[in-house]
Chains A and B, each alone.
Chain A
Amino acid sequence: MANPQMVMYDEEFKQINVVIEKLLREANAKVIFLVDKNGQLISGVGEVERFDTTSLASLTAGNIAATGGLAKLIGEKEFSILFHEGEKDNLHISIVGGRVILVVLFDSRSSLGLVRLRVKKASDELTTIFNRLLEKAEEKEKSGETDFPFAEITDDDIDNLFS
Chain B
Amino acid sequence: MSFINYASREINCKIVYYGPGLCGKTTNLQFVYQKTAPDAKGKMISLATETERTLFFDFLPLALGEIRGFKTRFHLYTVPGQVFYDASRKLILKGVDGVVFVADSQEERMDANIESLENLRINLVEQGYDLDKIPYVVQYNKRDLPNIVTVEELRRELNPTNVPDFEACASTGEGVFETLKAVAKLILIDLKKGK
Interface residues on A, range: 35 or more
CB-based contact B70/A66 at 8 Å:
no
Asked whether A1 and B45 contact (CB < 8 A) given A69-B91, A150-B194, the answer is no
With the chains together, A150 CA to B150 CA distance in Å?
Answer: 39
Residues facing A in B1-33 (CB within 8 A) are 1-8, 11-12, 14
Secondary structure type dominating chain B contacts? mixed
- B42 in contact (CB, < 8 A): yes
- B191 in contact (CB, < 8 A): yes
CB-based contact B129/A1 at 8 Å:
yes
Contact of A158 among B4, B129, B185 (CB under 8 A): B185
| Chain B residues within 8 Å of A10, by CB | 6-7
With the chains together, A58 CA to B78 CA distance in Å?
Answer: 13
CB-based contact A69/B4 at 8 Å:
no
Asked whether A153 and B67 contact (CB < 8 A) given A55-B45, A158-B185, the answer is yes
CB-based contact A8/B43 at 8 Å:
no
- A74 in contact (CB, < 8 A): no
Asked whether A149 and B42 contact (CB < 8 A) given A40-B12, A66-B88, A158-B185, the answer is no
- A128 in contact (CB, < 8 A): no
Residue of chain A at shortest CB distance from B128: A2
Kindly provide the distance from the CB of B15 to the nearest chain A CB, expressed in whole angstroms: 12
CB-based contact A9/B194 at 8 Å:
no
Kindly provide the distance from the CB of B49 to the nearest chain A CB, expressed in whole angstroms: 16
CB-based contact B192/A150 at 8 Å:
yes
Kindly provide the distance from the CB of B12 to the nearest chain A CB, expressed in whole angstroms: 5
With the chains together, A70 CA to B59 CA distance in Å?
Answer: 22
Interface residues on chain B, number (Cβ under 8 Å): 45
Asked whether A38 and B67 contact (CB < 8 A) given A1-B129, A146-B194, the answer is no
CB-based contact B5/A161 at 8 Å:
no
CB-based contact A59/B95 at 8 Å:
no
With the chains together, A55 CA to B57 CA distance in Å?
Answer: 12
With the chains together, A52 CA to B47 CA distance in Å?
Answer: 16
A-B contact pairs, 30 of them (CB 8 A): A1-B129, A2-B127, A2-B128, A2-B129, A3-B1, A3-B94, A5-B4, A7-B6, A10-B6, A13-B5, A37-B95, A40-B3, A40-B14, A54-B43, A59-B59, A66-B56, A69-B87, A69-B88, A69-B91, A148-B4, A149-B67, A149-B68, A150-B191, A150-B192, A151-B192, A153-B188, A158-B185, A158-B189, A161-B72, A162-B64
